[in-house]
Structure 1
Amino acid sequence: MMIVHRDIKSSNVLLDGNFTPKISDFGLAKLIHDHGHADTHTQIAGTICYIAPEYGRLSPKADVYSFGIVALEIVTGKRVPNFIPKEDGVYVTDWVNRRLKETNLSEIVDPGLGSEYSSQEAYRTLKVALKCVHRLPHRRPKMSTVKEMLEG
């Protein structure tokens, strides 16, 4: 059975007492029917910056995209809704891609971590996250593959 969450974002990921992540708020993302028109229109409710480019075609690959955005937020310490790049028109995924190619990893990782992180794990997580946010859904890995890649 496939389960599609439709609104995976950092504020919907909670940690329990053992720091085990729990996905919450399954009821927020729902189908909305507009009965004000002769034709019934259906649109998806969710949080824009976490929604895959193929908005409207719900699938596990859309959740993989959202997971990738959350992973980028975790490593960079930048909240995607508040991300304002210095270069015009650059989204957080483009910013991370550029930085990985041209700069030191320490300029990408959340400065609040100081040196308290594994650069190998941070790099791996960023690379996996970028695979998750590929514009083409069929190029995104399955979550089981994401889990394997993150475990090394």
Structure 2
Amino acid sequence: MSLFNYVMHKVWLDQTRIGLSLYDTTGQGYLTEGDLENYITDLLPTLYQLEGLEKSFHSFYVCTAVRKFIFFLDVVRAGRVRILDILACSFLDDLLELRDEELSKEAQEQNWFSAPSALRIYGHYLNLDRDHNGMLSKSELARYGSAP
């Protein structure tokens, strides 16, 4: 069973690497922010747990998902993320977990990429954006974590 699990994991990693490489516009083993946006946008229809999200919310969802990858994996702020780093971290596993039709509510609550989590983040963003211009000023952002 251990050998089977190892082979299955290896095959999954290879398939996922190839899938991500299709979005590597430079062919250098990196994905830019735009490449990641394209990947996640194309992935959205396959994520069963996100079927209930309004189409108008998809752009915000893609933006927040991409920003998580960029923030944590582009440590030198080069504007790109290595495909190998994406495969090595758990973010992609969490995102792809949303394909599971049987995913429990508890698992969804713990998954940063789930619809409840994305809607919670969006709610925080809207509450911080006092002037409703779509951008957070320094003073609005300084309110994060404090009572309204």
Q: Specify the TM-score bucket, using the shorter chain as the normaliser.
A: under 0.3
Q: When the two structures are superposed, what TM-score results if normalisation uses the length of structure 2?
A: 0.27
Q: Which has the higher strand share?
A: 1
Q: Which has the higher helix share?
A: 2
Q: When the two structures are superposed, what TM-score results if normalisation uses the length of structure 1?
A: 0.26
